């Protein structure tokens, strides 16, 4: 399959697509610009300035607003993206920023980090509880990226891009703790690019965006490759999310980070494909 471009370049480093079910709109991150791009209208995007690098946003269910991962910490915004409260920073080192996030079945917000220079082992994975308290879940990571939970919540899938694989954890369904990390899918030299953002569909299939590969690849619940979506004209496909009223459209973000100035004029655009399988409603933050 091939995805089609649905926006002009709307981000320099597009990341973190999020289908906002309550508002029926797509939000993406222009990460290093510190901007959330509201794509209620693909032809007339609204840019929401956050004030620092921004990596992820999800709905805060009980508040009617959002939790946003900024450069070093987390903030709560109302439904119009007016800042309500800044939580404590998770990261104190200015050379490190937050990178990719999402919620577990217990509706806690997880977000990983990476060093700006991609120093091996410098990154961590953090968890934000409903009361706003923050704890460290994993350390000794390099580029913390995709994180999803299986449909039954018993398994978590995780990507540290530098490992070139998807790992799995067993999940304690009582308290949500992660145990017994192990490799699940490894990507050899026959796969172009490195695994980046990831989402899950209603059949439990994982859709992995490949940075440097210009594609999103689907892996079934047994770990077998089942579909490939080519993203024409761009190399850095960064993340994917299902959206639309029926969750039947896969939206794909792209980036022009590390590209020469005049290369790939479509980089930073959003692409879309209807892949024949629907997404699933992902958990929202409990705070």
Q: What is the pLDDT of residues 173-198, one digit of tens each?
A: 889 999 999 999 999 999 999 999 99
CATH code of residue 179: 2.120.10.30
Please confirm, yes or no, whether 44 is among the known catalytic residues.
no
286: in domain: no
210: in domain: yes
49: in domain: yes
Percent of the chain having pLDDT more than 90? Answer: 96
pLDDT in tens, 63-106: 789 999 999 999 999 999 999 999 989 999 999 999 999 999 99
Number of domains in the chain: 1
Interatomic CA distance for residues 21 and 281, integer angstroms: 8
Across the range 25-49, mean pLDDT stands at: 97
* Nearest residue to 227 via CA among 243, 207, 203: 207
Please tell me which residue in 38, 104, 160, 196 is annotated as part of the active site: 196
278: in domain: no
Residue 191 gets which letter from DSSP?
S
Q: Give the number of C-alpha atoms closer than 13 A to the C-alpha of residue 189, restricted to the C-beta side.
A: 0
Structure tokens of 207?
């859709």
Interatomic CA distance for residues 244 and 104, integer angstroms: 22
Domain that holds residue 135: 4-273
Question: What local confidence, expressed as pLDDT, does residue 173 receive?
Answer: 84
pLDDT grade for 219, boundaries at 50, 70 and 90: very high
285: in domain: no
Interatomic CA distance for residues 140 and 127, integer angstroms: 16
Handedness of CA 233, 234, 237, 240 (dihedral sign): negative
pTM listed for this prediction? 0.96
Asked if 130 and 139 count as a contact pair (C-beta separation under 8 A), the reply is no
224: in domain: yes
280: in domain: no
Position 62 pLDDT exceeds 90 = no
Position 61 pLDDT exceeds 90 = no
CB burial of 146-170 (b: ≥16 within 10 Å; e: otherwise) equals: bbbbbeeeebbbbbbbbbbbbbbbe
Per-residue CA distances from 265 to 27, 119, 233 (Å): 21, 29, 8
Position 230 pLDDT exceeds 90 = yes
Interatomic CA distance for residues 100 and 218, integer angstroms: 19
Contacts of residue 8, Cβ cutoff 8 Å, sequence gap at least 6: 269
284: in domain: no
């Amino acid at each position: 399959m091939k995805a089609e471009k649905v926006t002009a370049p709307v981000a320099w480093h597009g990341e973190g697509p999020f289908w906002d079910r309550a508002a029926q709109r797509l939000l993406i991150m222009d990460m290093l610009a510190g901007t959330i791009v509201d794509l209620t209208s693909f032809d007339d995007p609204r840019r929401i300035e956050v004030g620092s690098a921004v990596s992820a946003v999800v709905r805060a269910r009980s508040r009617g607003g959002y939790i946003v991962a900024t450069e070093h910490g987390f903030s709560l915004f109302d439904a119009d993206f007016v800042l309500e409260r800044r939580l404590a920073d998770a990261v104190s080192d200015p050379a490190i920023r937050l990178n990719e996030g999402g919620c577990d079945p217990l509706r806690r917000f997880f977000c990983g980090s990476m060093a700006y220079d991609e120093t091996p082992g410098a990154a961590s994975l953090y968890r934000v509880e409903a009361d706003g308290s923050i704890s460290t879940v994993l350390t000794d990571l390099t580029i913390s990226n995709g994180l999803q939970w299986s449909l039954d919540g018993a398994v978590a899938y995780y990507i540290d891009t530098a490992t070139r694989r998807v790992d799995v954890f067993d999940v304690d369904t009582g308290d949500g703790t992660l145990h017994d990390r192990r490799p699940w899918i490894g990507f050899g030299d026959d796969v172009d690019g490195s695994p980046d953002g990831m989402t899950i569909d209603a059949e439990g299939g994982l859709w992995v965006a490949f940075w440097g590969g210009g594609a999103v690849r689907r892996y079934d619940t047994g770990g077998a490759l089942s579909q490939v979506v080519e993203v024409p004209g761009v190399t850095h496909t960064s993340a994917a999310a299902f959206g639309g009223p029926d969750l039947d459209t896969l939206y794909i973000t792209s980036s022009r980070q590390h590209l020469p100035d005049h290369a790939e004029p479509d980089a930073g655009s959003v692409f879309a494909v209807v892949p024949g399988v629907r997404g699933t409603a992902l958990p929202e933050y409990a705070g």
